[in-house]
Amino acid sequence: MSVSTFLKKDNYMSNTSRSLISGFVGGLAGSAVKSLIEQFLPVRKIEQRSAQIKIVDDLSTKITGTPISTQNEAIAEQLVNLPVGGSLGAAYGYGKKDRLGLRPTDGVIFGATTWASTHETSLPILGLEPKPTDVPVRMQFNELFAHVAFGLTTELVRHYLEKQLRE
């Protein structure tokens, strides 16, 4: 049996596979859109390093004994953004496997809850970002907007790919 024949079937394994694949690719696309938006809308103070860079910098220091160079920070940030976005998208796709159709509201909710569960709670708790009360409201809004765009893009791409894989 070919992969395309497998993906067109209507059984648990095929539905799950389609959902994971389309969600993962949607999450990658959403991460790219989020990163693009963050190039134009400031989400942190100029001197503040992102949580992603702090993670990669710490890992680099533990493995190689030296932190990442300033010129490699942009690529290092994407080394965290893309796998995290893809993984979140795959989980989102799996959660949507029994809900056919395009639901933009689900994408908006997905993006907003991703923002709330990272930038408003877990990252400050881990010491990777400042407390929400220490971040200007405008930057919080920009971050929320970028995450909503991430979620909406994930839903749009997920829906399109899932439909293509089904047909």
The pLDDT tens digits for 24-48 are 999 999 999 999 999 999 998 888 8
Q: What is the pTM of this model?
A: 0.91
Measured CA to CA in angstroms, residue 68 lies from 11, 26, 50, 76 at distances of: 46, 29, 13, 8
Q: Tell me if 149 sits within 8 A of 111, measured CB to CB.
A: yes
Query: Could you give the angle at which helices 73-95 and 137-166 cross, rounded to 10 degrees?
Result: 60
Span 137-155, average pLDDT: 97
pLDDT for 99: 84
What CA–CA distance (Å, rounded) separates 95 from 4? Answer: 22
Chain-centroid distance, C-alpha 51: 14
- Phi/psi for 149 (5° steps) reads -65, -40
- For the cut 80, the answer to whether the pLDDT of residue 8 exceeds it is no
| 4 pLDDT more than 70 | no
Count of residues making up the chain: 167
Q: What's the confidence (pLDDT) of residue 140?
A: 95
